[in-house]
Structure 1
Amino acid sequence: MSDLDQWKQFTQARIGLNRVGGSIATKEMLKFRLDHANAKDAVNQEPNWELIQKQSNELCQIYGIQNIFIKSQVSSKQEYLLRPDLGRRISEESKLSLFPYNLGYDLSIVCIDGLSAKAIDDNLISFLELFFAKIQNTNLSIAPLVLSRWGRVALGDEIAEILKAKICIVIIGERPGLSAADSLGIYLTYEPKLGFTDESRNCISNVRPLGLPFSLAVEKTIYLIKECLLQKKSGVLLKDQMPGEIKPLNEKKIIPIQPTVD
């Protein structure tokens, strides 16, 4: 195995692409086009909301919490892509469905399709299963689980403000790239309010089986929740000082690169 092949174990990024003359090899070009098509599909397709609602309902019943499906002010996928501002606000009808639950909680969890239907379809329930199993040991009060179509990260601020939650966690399908189209992003905001911007949030990115594994993402999320409550802040004011190191994400054995001797 060459030194370059050993480095490739650490990343899915395109490094050391084979060439034929002055052009990229046909195999590499076809893979690029496939990944580009997968990224476009992730943005343009819709999650299987019927299945996700069914699975999330079953999960919520286990832990004794409600499950609510809402919509943003967006009326179509095209409008969602062209009008990010509408994706940050919930519809009037959805507000009415939330008001009966504005009882005050430690934690509000909002799951949004975002820019990757594939991330929601493939990874949302798996993450939630691990998260709920861990969070039940913290004695935190949890608001109804909210699922939302055509939303942006800031949609969680308005939802959590209505529910009177101390912390909002938004789990969203991240904008796909050419090496990953199925990543979840997790955003934490302390005492969220309508109009908050991104410096108010902590972000955990690239949550997927071939990225940051669910178990580590859950551990990081719970750590940040505890720090938010302890320090009463989030975003740029809250530094991530979680102890321990992140292990290699690839399950395969990493072969150490041997130093060369000149």
Structure 2
Amino acid sequence: MTVSEVAVNGNDPVQQDFWSELRRSTQSRIGLGRAGDALPTRRVLEFRAAHAAARDAVHEPLDVPSLAERVRTVGIGDPVAVTSLATGRGEYLRRPDLGRAPADLSAIPRSGAELGFVLGDGLSPRALTDHGVELLAALVAELSDRYSIAPPVIATEARVALGDHIAEAMGVQTLVVLIGERPGLSVADSLGIYLTHLPRPGRADSDRNCISNIHPPEGLGYEQAAKVVAGLVSGARRLGRSGVDLKDTSRSDELSASETTALIIE
């Protein structure tokens, strides 16, 4: 095989070694090679498979009874299931406003607890199925010894702001929403967390704190996310609000310890 044939087929060993090293630090599609004037067939098929997985993640309905059984094992009460005004995935995608308003919240008990958790399907019900219960368990393990926690709520056809209405019905001081993030071509099962202190309908996005990209092992881990949330909850209660004025300081102790160690070594 000639040098030109190797380059055309995208099998140049030097080129492959260069890109393979960089691929270890990113899920992005880089250095895909060439087959003539197009991508190699394998790369095209990988792209189409990723696109199909992202579409499926958006449209696949959440299995609420199965999720509720698993959520019950976390030990913070029987979950209540609610839905938004969107009547299905099609309307949910076309009308984001309907996903922010509740259909009926009468089944939610008013607990007056300090913390409340909402598990929303969002734009990736698959993400909630894959990671929701494990993430909730990590959050409860991190927070339950410091705060009272209301029974959890599972919300379908849900946007983030639906949680404000749910929190008002629960009577909680701080709300933590676990919700499926918009799938991409690298990740279709990523969860996000949105924290709102003193939640109420009409809160702006600037009143919330977001932790995204939760999907171990490639993304943020459950325990790591829980520690960030614990720091934000503590900070929000001291500050009296969440949002743009509240910063994540969960790594401050680690950094201080590292600086101290460095000083001792020197």
1:112-261 to 2 correspondences below 5 Å: 112-138=120-146, 140-209=147-216, 210-243=218-251
- Unpaired runs of 5+ residues, structure 1, are 247-262
Q: Deviations over 1:9-57 (max 9, x none)?
A: 1111111212123211111111000000000000011122221011112
Aligned to 1:96: 106
Residue 67 (structure 1) aligned with residue 79 (structure 2): yes
Per-residue deviation, 1:186 = 0.3
Task: Confirm or deny: 8 A CA contact 2:64 2:81 kept in the other structure.
Answer: no
Higher strand share: 1
Q: Is the 8 A contact 2:191 2:212 kept in 1?
A: yes
Q: Which moved more, 1:175-184 or 1:70-79?
A: 70-79
On the 8 A contact 2:227/2:250 being kept in 1, the answer is: no
Alignment TM-score, normalising by the size of structure 1 = 0.86
Q: Which letter does structure 2 place at the counterpart of 1:123?
A: H
Alignment size in residue pairs: 238
Moved over 4 A (4+): none
The 1:244/1:15 distance shift into structure 2, 3 A limit, reads farther
Q: Which has the higher contact order (CA 8 A, sep 6+)?
A: 1
Structural RMSD (CA): 1.7
CA distance in 1, matches of 2:205, 2:32: 35
Write out per-residue CA displacement over residues 215-258 of structure 1, whole angstroms, 9 at most, x where no aligned residue: 21111111111111111121111122332599xxxxxxxxxxxx
2:19 maps to what in 1? 4
The partner residue of 2:65 within 42, 50, 66 is: 50
| Percent of residue pairs identical | 38
Alpha-carbon distance between aligned partners in 2 of 1:87 and 1:112, rounded to the nearest angstrom: 11
Cα distance change of structure 1 residues 123 and 86 upon mapping to structure 2, 3 Å threshold: same
Whole-angstrom distance in 2 between the partners of 1:191 and 1:13: 38
Matched AA of 1:97: A
Q: How far apart, in 1, do the equivalents of 2:44 and 2:200 lie?
A: 46
Alignment-mate amino acid for residue 33 of structure 2: N
Structure-1 separation of matches of 2:50 and 2:253: 30
Counterpart selection for 1:23 from 38, 52, 71? 38
Q: Which runs of 5+ in 2 are unaligned?
A: 1-15, 255-266
Q: TM-score, normalised by structure 2?
A: 0.85
Q: Does 1:84 align with 2:91?
A: no
